[in-house]
Amino acid sequence: MFLRNCWYIAAESREVGREPMGRILLNEPVVVYRKEDGTPVALEDRCCHRRAPLHKGKLVGDKIQCGYHGFTFDATGACTYIPGQERVSASVCVRSYPVVERHRYLWIWMGEKEKADPSHIPDFHYNDDPEWAAVGACLHVDANYLLLVENLIDLSHVAFVHASTIGSADDTNPIIKNERSDDFVRVIREAPGIACTPSMAAVGFAPVIDQKKIITFTPGSNIWIDIPTRDAVPVEGRNQPMERRVMILNAITPETERTCHYFWANARDFDLESQERSDFFLKTVTFAFNEDKDILEAQQRNIELDPHAGTVNVNADWGGVQAVRMMERLIGDEQPRRAANVA
């Protein structure tokens, strides 16, 4: 089960054009495309005639034509043409979804349409703010989306999984502060005097750094990781300690119960015009997040071998545990309304 009354990323803006693109979101087939004026459209990717995927068809102006029997649907999901007959019943239609383009993403609402308030779209402005430089991508992960949520909130794994990329082997005894409200979970992780991470060493930081990670989760599955870093020891020729800030944006859209789409962006407040720096971060973070993908997919396989095998929670698990409990509560609250709507 998934939380439906919230905004998820359906695609990066650059992925979607005049060629229909099919994607599974929350166990539902969705097709996205752009009208001739560039406006994004999201429809059920399942023709109501014989359930063929609409993304296998083609666009006819602003409409999409099924590639199997030619049924044609407008951007609202209404069927406007059936080959061989003049009359088209209003009941011949596919579902349409509210979709909003913001921060270089297409955000989709999979729940009750009347509740789709664009003001609740997560604040990912760092991805297109001129004061920041951002790179990012979408990673398909063969693991339940909540495993990735836990991975991103509990960064104790960074010293082990990412020691050669974005982590420091020294970062094993941080100062932890935890916060929770009705709509967010936050973990503040301070690691003073640790060996500089390989990625920050490439930026020019001292061999020893002070680094903080402020990790904030909001439903359905959005995580901001604010990472200010500062020299912890003097550097010859540098009058002031170097200070830089990186913001990692994470949005996980469930595909199925065991797979998900992981949209991420790495934004920085320095070297804004440097393509070399952007290329470096794209390569480094992509490599690091594939390290996560590898361990998460192995974890998912183990879970499926024995879903009832026991687990142990330790102090570092607080954020992940709280996020999962929050999601379980919100999903549980939606079920009676969803059942009533279906009935």
Q: What is the pLDDT of residues 120-175, one digit of tens each?
A: 999 999 999 999 999 999 999 999 999 999 999 999 999 999 999 999 999 999 99
- H helices, E strands: number in the chain: 5, 17
Going by C-alpha positions, the residue among 125, 172, 135 that lies closest to residue 284 is 135
- Give ranges for CATH 3.90.380.10 in the chain: 125-331
Find the mean pLDDT for residues 225-242.
96
Q: For the whole model, what pTM was predicted?
A: 0.95
* pLDDT the model gives residue 118: 98
User: Rounded CA gap, 234 and 90, in Å?
Assistant: 72
**13-65 confidence digits (pLDDT tens):** 999 999 999 999 999 999 999 999 999 999 999 999 999 999 999 999 999 99
Give the whole-angstrom CA distance, residue 318 versus residue 321: 5
Q: Is the dihedral of CA 23, 117, 125, 218 positive or negative?
A: negative
Take residue 332 and report the two structure tokens written for it: 């549980």
Out of 2.40.37.10, 2.40.50.140, 2.60.40.1930, 2.102.10.10, the CATH code matching 7-120 is: 2.102.10.10
Q: How confident is the model at residue 337 (pLDDT cuts 50, 70, 90)?
A: low
306 has pLDDT over 60? yes
What mean pLDDT is reported for the chain?
96
Asked if 189 and 174 count as a contact pair (C-beta separation under 8 A), the reply is yes
Beta strands in the chain (DSSP E): 7-12, 21-25, 28-34, 40-44, 58-60, 63-65, 72-73, 79-81, 99-102, 105-109, 133-141, 175-180, 185-195, 208-218, 222-231, 243-256, 259-268
Cis ω for the linkage preceding 111 (within 30 of 0) = no
Fold of 125-331: Naphthalene 1,2-dioxygenase Alpha Subunit; Chain A, domain 1 (3.90.380)
Q: Give which of 163, 178, 137, 77 is closest to 266, Cα–Cα.
A: 137
pLDDT at 340 over 70: no
Report the alpha-carbon distance of residue 338 to residue 148 in Å, rounded: 26
Average pLDDT over residues 193-221: 97
Q: Is 256 left (phi over 0), alpha (psi -120 to 50) or beta?
A: beta
Q: Could you tell me the two tokens for 145?
A: 């989306």
Rounded CA gap, 136 and 159, in Å? 22
Which pLDDT score, from 0 to 100, does residue 62 have?
98
Dmax over CA atoms of the chain, in Å, equals: 81
Strands 175-180 and 58-60 come out as unpaired
pLDDT value for 335:
83
What is the band of 336 on the pLDDT scale with cuts at 50, 70, 90? confident
Within the chain, all domains assigned CATH 2.102.10.10 are found at 7-120
pLDDT at 270 over 70: yes
* Phi and psi, residue 228, nearest 5°: -85, 135
CB atoms within 10 A of CB 195: 16
Structure confidence by residue, pLDDT tens digits, 6-26: 999 999 999 999 999 999 999
CB 31 within 8 A of CB 39: no
> Stretch 314-342: mean pLDDT, rounded?
87
Instruction: List CB contacts of 125: < 8 A, sequence separation 6 or more.
Output: 103
Which H/E stretch holds residue 289?
A: helix 275-305
pLDDT score of 1? 85
Residue 167 CB partners (closer than 8 Å, separation 6+): 158, 159, 160, 161, 197, 288
Amino acid at 172: T
pLDDT at 343: 45
Question: What pLDDT was estimated at residue 339?
Answer: 58
